[in-house]
Amino acid sequence: MTATIMIILVLAVIVFIAVKSARKRFSGDGSCCGSGGDKWIDEKKKLNYPIIAEKEVKIQGMSCENCQGRIQRQLDRIDGVSAEVDWEKGVAKISEDREVSDDIIKRTIERLDYKVMCVRTVPLNQE
């Protein structure tokens, strides 16, 4: 009997938290990513070696600066990659100082529940 009451109380708390979170998100007071709506601060990662390749990744599913920040932070964690993500355009521009497979980039983004539409290599800006 006591175990049943405890289970009901735990379920009630979970439902309460879920409803509160959903209400906040759908009313526009929260961010889509659950990070509290704080503004993403863009800091470009510095690479250790000269850039040997640049890629453009088309991404579906970003809807705010927090989405942009999540993707950029994860891409920047890849050795040899520096990313600039634009949520409004749905694009990540990636610079590489070593060879990084398209599959690694794609899996990194899709693990965050976004969809990669394509990854394409772009010509380096020779100056």
At residue 29, the pLDDT reads 46
Contacts of 120 (CB under 8 A, 6+ apart): 55, 56
Segment 40-94, tens digit of pLDDT: 556 778 888 899 999 999 999 999 999 999 999 999 999 999 999 999 999 999 9
Shared domain for 3 and 59, answered yes or no, is no
Q: What is the pTM of this model?
A: 0.68
Q: If you ran DSSP here, which 8-state letter would residue 39 be given? A: P
Could you tell me if 61 and 111 lie in one domain? yes
Rounded Cα gap, residues 72 and 41, in angstroms: 11
- Asked if the structure places residue 42 within a domain, the reply is no
CATH number of residue 87's parent domain: 3.30.70.100
30/35 Cα distance (integer angstroms): 8
Domain containing 5: what range?
1-30
- Provide the 3-class DSSP secondary structure of residue 96: strand
Assess whether pLDDT exceeds 90 at residue 3. no
Total domains, the chain: 2
Question: Is residue 41 one of the residues assigned to a domain?
Answer: no
Task: Judge whether 90 lies within some domain.
Answer: yes
12 within a domain of the structure (yes/no): yes
Examine residue 39 and state whether it is found in any structural domain, yes or no: no
Share of the chain above pLDDT 90, in %: 59
